[in-house]
Amino acid sequence: MQGTSLAGHFILIVEDEPLIALDMRFAFEKAGANVVLVYSLPDAAHHVEQDGLSGAVLDYGLGSQDGDALCHHLRQRHIPFILHSGCEHTSNACHGAIVIPKPARPEVLIEALLQALCQPRSSETKCEQRCMTVSDTSISC
């Protein structure tokens, strides 16, 4: 990893494949994040309602479900997210999200989420310092 830190960030990971989910959780925790791991969209929707969530990594196609409603809900709450999925098609609810096709190394997902965290939210006029680095590597906003 390029020295990035997610210290102080609460990250929701929505992934139905246990080995991928655990690998992602380990990498995000190693990068300093507090991780909530869920395996279903209904469980994810519950966590999106909680205050303090910094960002999310969403597997767009979970079984027979897609992530449209969750993408919409994340946008309503101004929570940055990325998509990590084998699905090639996403809907307008997920339009503009960073999409990382499966398979991908967890480090790639961390870098992508850091980019999403550095994007100004609709209620901000400029990028706040939500992403931190621990070396010379930085993500520009």
Helix-, strand-, coil-residue percentages of the chain, each rounded to 5 = 30, 20, 45
The Cα 105–Cα 1 span in angstroms is 10
Instruction: Tell me if residue 56 falls in helix, strand or coil.
Output: strand
pTM: 0.81
pLDDT tens string 1-14: 444 689 999 999 99
Q: What is the mean pLDDT of residues 95-122?
A: 88
For 27, residues 6+ apart whose C-beta sits below 8 A from its C-beta are 1, 106, 107, 109, 110
Boundaries of every domain in the chain: 4-133
3.40.50.2300, 3.40.50.300, 3.40.50.2000, 3.40.50.620: CATH of 4-133: 3.40.50.2300
Q: What is the DSSP string of 120-131?
A: PPTT-SS--S--
